[in-house]
């Protein structure tokens, strides 16, 4: 049984045959029509195809023409208009490139030599198209004849008819590697084992051990006790470049780091005490220290990062080790939100520390504006506070670890 699309094609073919016979029977001084070189449906692997504009002038030698191509700009776009080297219009054809996206494009040409065979069909322009429409859409291509004159500058009577283009799966939804993902949505169109590249590093997610490029291996993030979702947003942390989850060196607990949407984390690492010899003696850094870089902020802009700790965590303060605007030598300083601009806010009930940063200001280890924040610091408690309990899952930390300060 023929479907509606097949009926449309049959009607188009019948129309083409009768229109051609009509042109021949009338024996006009000139006629113009469109010839589709590609069969229907358009089978182009890259969503492009070509049409040829041809004319035959039985009793006139064409001298010049001006036509307008009309088409649906939501379905088709003109890429270029070219002229065969043997055409009498070669070198004297002009197309309005600024209208290639508009749906109406004017083409004008002047003959540079007389035709040797006036009875023969001649391709006077080749149009390269790009498919924009989805499968099931269609566009009519129509030729509007503005003017045609012969070599004596006399008007030539001419006619033309339309051509319908049907877009089907093969032109816009091709699946080269047959993995079930259309090429246009497949980052690796010729690799059936890969289709996504979450961090854009050129390595497919299946082969990439760090899909979000934050510095923590996927298997480490996915082992978070909350099913790999440390910030409880129903998205795996290993697939978010602004979220990472990592574990302490001794397997005591998981901590999740989250920067705002639109920013990204990199160089994430849980490290040992950066300067144990002069660290505050009265503070216990049971969770160790965290290194990370926040990118994606503007020069001098502010941003806030969150650290999520286990339910049994005891959080009292936050210390950093590094330079500050007032002291260019690495040193220890308590990083609390007491100036209303930068510092740590501690939510001891929900076990969240919010770190407020401003590019190049206190808390940022790079003191020149560079549209990022580089941090090294960690939470602390008084030396008599409890240490965290063990997490429910084991395993390594992918080369990243949290160490404890030796008092």
Gap between the Cα atoms of 30 and 326, Å rounded: 85
Q: Tell me: domain 4-172, CATH 2.60.40.10, correct?
A: no
Tell the burial category of 258 from Cβ atoms under 10 Å away from its Cβ (0-12, 13-18, 19+). buried
Q: What are the domain boundaries of the chain?
A: 4-172, 176-208, 218-382
Q: Contact, 227 vs 221, CB < 8 A?
A: no
Do 4-172 and 218-382 come out as alike in CATH topology? Answer: no
Q: Contact, 63 vs 51, CB < 8 A?
A: no
Check residue 120 and give left, alpha or beta (phi > 0: left; psi -120 to 50: alpha).
Answer: beta
Q: In this structure, which long-range contacts are made by residues 346-353, counting pairs with CB atoms below 8 Å and at least 24 apart in sequence?
A: 346/315, 346/316, 346/317, 346/318, 346/379, 348/314, 348/315, 348/316, 351/308, 351/309, 351/310, 351/311, 351/313, 351/315, 352/306, 352/307, 352/308, 352/309, 353/306, 353/307, 353/309, 353/315, 353/318, 353/379
- Number of H-type helices and E-type strands within the chain: 3, 20
Here the tokens at position 253 are 């607990």
Task: Give the pLDDT confidence score for residue 350 in this predicted structure.
Answer: 96
H or E element that contains 23: helix 4-26
Architecture of the domain made up of 218-382 = Sandwich (2.60)
Condensed to tens digits (0 to 9), the pLDDT of residues 134-173 reads 777 888 888 888 888 777 777 777 777 677 877 765 545 5
Here the tokens at position 344 are 């740590």
Show pLDDT as tens, one digit a residue, over the chain (407 residues): 445 545 555 554 444 444 443 333 333 344 555 555 544 445 454 577 888 887 765 555 677 888 899 999 998 899 999 888 777 777 678 888 889 999 999 998 887 666 555 555 677 788 888 888 877 788 888 888 888 877 777 777 777 767 787 776 554 556 676 777 777 777 777 777 777 666 677 776 676 667 788 889 888 999 999 999 999 999 999 989 999 999 875 667 899 999 999 999 999 988 899 999 999 999 999 899 999 999 999 999 999 999 999 999 999 999 999 999 999 999 999 999 998 999 999 999 999 999 999 999 999 999 999 999 999 999 999 876 544 443 333 334 443 333 333 32
CA distances from 360 to 305, 366, 375 (A): 16, 6, 11
H or E element that contains 129: strand 122-131
Contacts of 13 (CB under 8 A, 6+ apart): none
Give the predicted TM-score (pTM) of the model.
0.51
Task: Give the pLDDT confidence score for residue 323 in this predicted structure.
Answer: 95
Gap between the Cα atoms of 70 and 144, Å rounded: 7
Q: Contact, 133 vs 73, CB < 8 A?
A: no
Place of tokens 């064409």: 62
Contacts of 343 (CB under 8 A, 6+ apart): 318, 335, 336, 337, 355, 356, 362, 363
């Amino acid at each position: 049984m023929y479907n509606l699309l097949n009926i449309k094609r049959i009607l188009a073919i019948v129309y083409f045959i009768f229109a051609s016979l009509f042109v021949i029977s009338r024996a006009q001084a000139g006629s113009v029509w469109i010839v589709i070189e590609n069969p229907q449906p358009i089978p182009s692997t890259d969503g492009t195809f070509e049409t040829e504009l041809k004319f035959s002038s039985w009793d006139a030698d064409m001298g010049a023409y001006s036509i307008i191509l009309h088409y649906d700009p939501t379905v088709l776009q003109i890429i270029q208009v070219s002229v065969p080297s043997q055409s009498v219009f070669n070198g004297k054809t002009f197309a309005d490139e600024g209208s290639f996206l508009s749906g109406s494009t004017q083409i004008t040409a002047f003959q540079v030599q007389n035709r040797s065979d006036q009875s023969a069909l001649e391709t006077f322009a080749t149009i390269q198209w790009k498919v924009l429409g989805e499968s099931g859409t269609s566009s009519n291509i129509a030729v509007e004849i503005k003017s045609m004159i012969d070599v004596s500058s006399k008007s030539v009577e001419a006619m033309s008819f339309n051509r319908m283009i049907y877009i089907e799966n093969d032109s816009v939804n091709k699946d080269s590697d047959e993995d079930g993902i259309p090429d246009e949505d497949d980052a690796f169109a010729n690799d059936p084992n890969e289709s996504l590249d979450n961090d854009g590093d050129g390595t497919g997610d299946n082969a990439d051990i760090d899909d979000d490029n934050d510095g923590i291996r996927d298997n480490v993030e996915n082992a978070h006790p909350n099913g790999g979702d440390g910030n409880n947003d129903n998205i795996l942390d290993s697939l978010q470049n602004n979220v990472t989850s990592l574990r302490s060196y001794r397997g005591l607990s998981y901590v999740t780091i989250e920067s705002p949407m639109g920013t990204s984390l990199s160089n994430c690492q849980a490290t040992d005490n950066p300067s144990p010899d002069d660290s505050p003696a009265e503070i216990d850094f049971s969770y160790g220290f965290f290194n990370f870089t926040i990118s994606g902020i503007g020069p001098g802009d502010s941003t806030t990062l969150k650290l999520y700790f286990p339910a049994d965590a005891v959080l009292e303060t936050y210390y950093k080790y590094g330079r500050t605007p007032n002291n260019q030598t690495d040193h220890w300083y308590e990083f609390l939100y007491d100036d209303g601009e930068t510092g740590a806010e501690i939510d001891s009930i929900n076990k969240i520390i919010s770190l407020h940063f401003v590019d190049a200001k206190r808390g940022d280890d790079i003191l020149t504006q560079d549209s990022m924040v580089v941090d090294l610091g960690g939470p602390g408690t008084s030396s008599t506070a409890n240490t965290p309990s063990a997490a429910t899952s084991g395993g390594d930390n992918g080369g990243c670890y949290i160490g404890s300060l030796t008092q």
